Amino acid sequence: MTEDVWTVGRLLTWTTDWLAGKGSDSPRLDAEVLLAHVRGCPRIALYTAFDDVVDEAGRTRFRGLVKRRGEGEPVAYLVGSKEFFSLALAVSPAVLIPRPETEGLVVRAIDLCRPLESPRIADVGTGSGAIAVALAKHLPKAHLVAIDISADALAVAQANVTRHALDGRIELVGCDLLDSPSAAGPFDCIVSNPPYVRADEFAGLPRDVRDHEPKSALVAGPTGVEVVERLVEAAESRLATGGWLLVEIGPTTVAAAEGIFARRPWLVPGPTLADMAGLPRIVQARKL
C-alpha cells in the first residue's frame, strides 16, 4: 500500500489518534460514526471493509467532519442523529443531544403507566422528542403531549414523531411549561428533563456541551432548580389524582429538587432513583 492509498482501516487508525490528541473521550467511536455517515452504511459494516479504498470525494467530506469534531462540535450534530432507547432520532443544535442517563426516566414512566388502560402523559421540555417518542413506542395505548417553548426544538421533535409514525399519538404543543389549554390534562404522568445546571457550573461543562448545545436547555439559573420549582407549581392542577411527576436532575442540585417536592403537601415523594453510574438522577412523587 502506498502512502497515497487511504483505506477504511487506515483512515480509522489515523483519525482515532488525531482525535485523541484533540481531547476526545471516545476517539475511535467518533471516527467510526463519522466515516460510516460519509459512506452511508451502518457502523458495524466498517469492520468488513477495512481494506476498501475511500475515494477522494469521501476523504474530503470525512476530513471536514473530523476537523469540526476536533474543534469540539458534537458528533451527533455533525451526522444529524443520535440513538436513544434503541431509536434513531434526528438532532440539531436547537436541541440537547439525548443521553443514556435520561433512559432511566423513560423506564420509570413505562413501569408506572403500563398497568393503565390508556395513560395520558405530558413530556415537558421535549426538545428532540426523545422521551415522548420512546414512551409512545413502548406504551401503544398511551396519548402523549410533548411540550417545548422553542419552535426550533418542536420542528426537530415533529421530524422524529413523523419518522416513527407517531403523528396520531403525540401532540406537539408550543408553550412555557404547562401554560396551554392543550396541556391542561389531567395527566397520569408528567415527565421532564428540564434545565438543571447552576449558572456558576456552566463554564465548567465539557467544551462540546458548553459551546454547542443550547444554553437555555442547560442552565436553569443561580440555584439550578428554578425551572423545577415552576414545573412543580404548574403540575398541581395538571396531574390526575394518583398521577406521578418524574423529573431528571443533576447530582449537584438533587437535594434542592427533593426539597421542592417535599414541601408540597399534595405530593407524596418517592425515592430518588440513580442512573447507571449510581448518581441520583430522577426525583419522583405521586399526587394525593
CATH, residue 127: 3.40.50.150
Residues 33, 136 share a domain:
no
Residues 154, 18 share a domain:
no
Residues 245, 139 share a domain:
yes
Boundary of a domain, candidates 37, 55, 71: 71
pLDDT higher than threshold 50 for residue 2: no
Residues 110, 47 share a domain:
no
Residue 80 lies inside a defined structural domain of this protein? no
Residue 81 lies inside a defined structural domain of this protein? no
Residues 127, 240 share a domain:
yes
How confident is residue 4, by pLDDT bands cut at 50, 70 and 90? Answer: confident
Q: What is the pLDDT of residue 221?
A: 97
Residue 140 lies inside a defined structural domain of this protein? yes
Residue 86 lies inside a defined structural domain of this protein? no
Q: What is the pLDDT of residue 1?
A: 37
Residue 31: exposure state from Cβ atoms within 10 A (0-12, 13-18, ≥19)? buried
What mean pLDDT is reported for the chain? 96
**Residues 107-148: tens digit of each pLDDT:** 999 999 999 999 999 999 999 999 999 999 999 999 999 999
3-class secondary structure per residue, the chain: CCCCCCEHHHHHHHHHHHHHHCCCCCHHHHHHHHHHHHHCCCHHHHHHCCCCECCHHHHHHHHHHHHHHHCCCCHHHHHCEEEECCEEEECCCCCCCCCHHHHHHHHHHHHHHCCCCCCEEEEECCCCCHHHHHHHHHCCCCEEEEEECCHHHHHHHHHHHHHCCCCCCEEEEECCCCCCHHHCCCEEEEEECCCCEEHHHHHHCCHHHHHHCCHHHCEEECCCCHHHHHHHHHHCCCEEEEEEEEEECCCCCHHHHHHHHHCCCCEEECCCEECCCCCEEEEEEEEC
Q: What is the pLDDT of residue 3?
A: 58
Question: How many domains does the chain divide into?
Answer: 2
Residues 102, 156 share a domain:
yes
Q: What is the pLDDT of residue 67?
A: 97
Residues 195, 116 share a domain:
yes
**Residues 51-81: tens digit of each pLDDT:** 999 999 999 999 999 999 999 999 999 999 9
Residues 111, 219 share a domain:
yes
Residues 108, 168 share a domain:
yes
Residues 104, 56 share a domain:
no
Residue 275 lies inside a defined structural domain of this protein? yes
Residue 65 lies inside a defined structural domain of this protein? yes
Residues 275, 234 share a domain:
yes
pLDDT higher than threshold 80 for residue 206: yes
Domain of 39, in residue numbers: 8-71
Rounded Cα distance between 64 and 38, Å, is 11
Residue 78 lies inside a defined structural domain of this protein? no
